[in-house]
């Protein structure tokens, strides 16, 4: 047991820049899981991350001569901000080497603290190599982001606060791991003061360097590449000192998927109205997985929201993946007969389930993406890409079984990365053999059954040749519809659309449609 860290942690004098962050109950998530779930809010630090603790503690331990030379670090962003703030507080010159993939919000925050920023490489390891070169070139003092006893001790103050804030029963603590500084400091303290508490390290499954080391019994191995979504924990090899501590103090390593991380970001938002960065939600994603696997209730579980530095434009991707990560969306490819009314019948067979996505494109010939909502002269089958809300994995399996019982061929694409990342955006193209297509864009109130009602009002007279709908959480659903309508029937179509009482716009002459979807040159 690394007892030497206890005195280091107790002696850390970091509170002239860091704050003691609250330990908050996650009431909604606790209710869902039947357990008491606590969240340590390190995202509320002045630099929106726990990293200020270790960086400042290390600066305080430097000799005056070392501070005068200036300091340098390699960081994915949060350690960089912590070191920049600490150096600014002490009047020390700081140089920060950051991977070129670092979110702009972190880069700008470091520069605002007066530090020099050097962008280099795609991963932490490449940035670290460049930082080592600059140490030799400029005579700077290297401040490691995690593999340093003083840094580890600074991060360990998170556990010191947590146990003081919650002296009662605590079954397990879940700590995110990149290089391992936070986990090592917290685990060392928890296991010394409260050895009965289980401590679990949590990593993204595409950056699981600690799991690799634990499985092999040493830290010699390196991941050939690491996922960059949770950039704050994108490390290829666990630290030497952090591994020494962790192998003696943790009860296990959990890995989580990108979708599970996205779902945890949403959970934090719903309970706190704050948006965690992906790395900041890794611990909660692991906590949820553990709670689901154990199936126990009335446990007290704690984790750390370790940071909130993310680019705003990344939220679009997070929102897209959240429902799947929460196991609340099924993504299916469904084959329906290419015959009049089959498209509408499929919507009716779904009942009142909320449809989150609905895509198809008429293909002609074999009818690979044919509609079937109205008349059609083609035989064959239509393939529809559809997303639907479900409650659990079991509910998803029941939905697939119900559709199959009704005679539909169903391919479950919920866990298919290609489908989620690309195919959902590529269902479309030009429809061969259609020269009388018109395209309209509609808006209708977003509520359960609204899409089916829309189709019931529209279907019956003309063949639907294109359909694209995606629920983006707005108050109004937006649908793009193509119809095969002869020239002399278009006044009748216009009259029907006027009766629908939904806002609509004809897009047949839109240059985007003409360039990518229309058969007409």
Distance CA 106, CA 93 (A): 19
Question: What was the pLDDT predicted at 375?
Answer: 32
Q: Which of 51, 61, 191, 288 is catalytic?
A: 51
Can 3 be counted among the known catalytic residues?
no
Catalytic entry in 49, 306, 342, 518: 306
More confident residue, 366 or 462: 462
d(CA 297, CA 63): 51
Fold: same for 4-49+149-323 and 51-142: yes
pLDDT at 210: 98
**CA–CA separation, 468 and 360 (whole Å):** 7
Which residue in 317, 321, 267 sits closest to 289, CA to CA? 267
d(CA 174, CA 301): 8
Check: CB of residue 419 under 8 Å from CB of residue 479: no
d(CA 184, CA 244): 9
Domains of the chain, residue spans: 4-49+149-323, 51-142, 327-516
Half-sphere exposure of 226 (CA within 13 A, CB side): 30
pLDDT at position 100 over 70: yes
403's CB contacts (< 8 A; 6+ apart) are 332, 334, 349, 410
Average pLDDT over residues 293-299: 94
User: How confident is the model over 418-430, as a mean pLDDT?
Assistant: 79
Could you report the per-residue pLDDT of 242-280, keeping only the tens digit for each? 999 999 999 999 999 999 999 999 999 999 999 999 999
pLDDT at position 6 is: 96
**pTM for this predicted structure:** 0.78
The 3-class secondary structure across 19-50, one letter per residue, is: CCCCEEECHHHHHHHCCEEEEEEHHHCCCCEC
- At 210-252, the pLDDT tens digits run 999 999 999 999 999 898 889 889 889 999 999 999 999 999 9
The whole-chain average pLDDT of the chain stands at 88
Q: What proportion of the chain, given as a percentage, has pLDDT over 70?
A: 93
Strand-strand pairing, 71-74 and 94-98: parallel
Q: Nearest CA to 355 among 326, 390, 324, 322?
A: 390
Q: 360: which DSSP letter? A: E
CA distances from 106 to 92, 101, 195, 312 (A): 20, 11, 36, 12
- Measured CA to CA, the distance from residue 466 to residue 463 in angstroms comes to 9
Pairwise pLDDT comparison (481 vs 125), residue with the higher score: 481
| Topology, domain 51-142 | Rossmann fold (3.40.50)
pLDDT 10s digits, 59-83: 999 999 999 999 999 886 789 999 9
The whole-number pLDDT of residue 460 equals 66
How sure is the predictor about 453, in pLDDT bands with cuts at 50, 70 and 90? confident
Rounded distance, CA 478 to CA 100, Å?
Answer: 37
Please indicate whether residue 306 is annotated as part of the active site. Answer: yes
Q: Are 310 and 103 in contact (CB under 8 A)?
A: yes
Q: For residue range 313-339, what is the model confidence (pLDDT) as tens digits?
A: 788 888 878 877 777 889 999 988 766
Residue that is written with structure tokens 């726990």 in the block: 50
Q: Please state, in angstroms and rounded to a whole number, the distance separating the CA atoms of residues 140 and 94.
A: 9
Measure Cα distances from 215 to 113, 159, 200, 223 in Å.
40, 26, 15, 13
The pLDDT confidence band at residue 389, using thresholds 50, 70 and 90, is: confident
327-516 folds as 3.40.1020
Report residue 368's pLDDT band, with 50, 70 and 90 as the boundaries. Answer: very low
Q: What is the pLDDT of residue 474?
A: 64
Binning pLDDT at 50, 70 and 90, where does residue 473 land? low
Give the pLDDT of residue 459: 66
Q: Which residue has the higher pLDDT, 489 or 501?
A: 489
Topology annotation, domain 4-49+149-323: Rossmann fold (3.40.50)
């Amino acid at each position: 047991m690394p007892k030497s860290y206890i005195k280091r942690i107790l002696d850390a004098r970091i509170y002239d820049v860091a704050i003691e962050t609250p330990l908050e109950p996650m009431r909604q998530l606790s209710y869902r899981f039947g357990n008491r779930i606590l969240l340590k809010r390190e995202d509320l630090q002045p630099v929106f991350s726990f990293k200020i603790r270790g960086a400042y503690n290390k600066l305080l331990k430097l000799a005056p001569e070392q501070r005068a030379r200036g300091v340098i670090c390699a960081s994915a962003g949060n350690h960089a901000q912590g070191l920049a703030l600490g150096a600014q507080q002490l009047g020390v010159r700081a140089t920060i080497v950051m991977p070129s993939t670092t979110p702009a919000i972190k880069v700008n925050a470091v520069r605002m603290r007066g530090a020099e920023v050097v962008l280099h490489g795609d991963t932490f390891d490449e940035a670290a190599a460049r930082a080592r070169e600059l140490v030799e070139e400029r005579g700077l003092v290297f401040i490691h982001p995690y593999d340093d006893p003083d840094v580890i001790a600074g991060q360990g103050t998170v556990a010191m606060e947590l146990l003081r804030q919650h002296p009662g029963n605590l079954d397990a603590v879940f700590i995110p791991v990149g290089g391992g500084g936070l986990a090592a400091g917290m685990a060392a303290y928890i296991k010394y003061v409260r050895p009965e508490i289980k401590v679990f390290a949590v990593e993204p499954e595409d950056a699981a360097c600690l799991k690799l080391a634990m499985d092999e019994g040493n830290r010699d191995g390196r991941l050939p590449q690491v996922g960059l979504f949770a950039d704050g924990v994108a490390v290829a090899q666990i630290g030497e000192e952090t591994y020494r501590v962790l192998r003696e103090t943790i009860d296990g390593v959990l890995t989580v998927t990108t979708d599970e991380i996205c779902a945890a970001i949403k959970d934090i938002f719903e309970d706190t109205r704050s948006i965690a960065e992906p790395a900041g939600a890794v611990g909660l994603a692991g906590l949820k997985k553990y709670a689901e696997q154990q199936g126990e209730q009335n446990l007290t579980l704690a984790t750390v929201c370790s940071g909130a530095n993310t680019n705003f434009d990344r939220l679009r991707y997070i929102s897209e993946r959240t429902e799947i990560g929460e196991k609340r969306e099924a993504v299916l490819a469904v084959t329906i007969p290419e015959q009049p009314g089959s498209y509408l019948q499929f919507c009716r067979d779904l009942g009142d389930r909320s449809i989150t996505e609905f895509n198809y494109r008429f293909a002609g010939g074999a009818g690979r993406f044919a509609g079937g909502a109205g008349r059609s002269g083609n035989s064959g089958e239509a393939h529809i890409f559809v997303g639907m809300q479900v409650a659990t994995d079991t509910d998803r399996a029941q939905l697939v079984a119900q559709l199959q019982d009704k005679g539909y061929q169903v391919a479950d694409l919920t866990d298919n990365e290609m489908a989620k990342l690309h195919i959902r955006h590529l269902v479309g193209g030009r429809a061969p053999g259609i020269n009388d297509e018109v395209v309209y864009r509609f808006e209708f109130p977003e509520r359960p059954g609204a899409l089916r009602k829309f189709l019931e009002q529209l279907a019956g007279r003309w063949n639907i040749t294109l359909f694209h709908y995606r629920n983006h959480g707005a108050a109004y659903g937006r649908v793009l519809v193509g119809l095969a309508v002869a020239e002399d029937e278009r006044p009748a179509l216009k009259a029907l659309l006027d009766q629908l009482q939904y806002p609509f716009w004809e897009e047949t002459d839109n240059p985007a449609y003409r360039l990518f979807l229309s058969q007409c040159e």
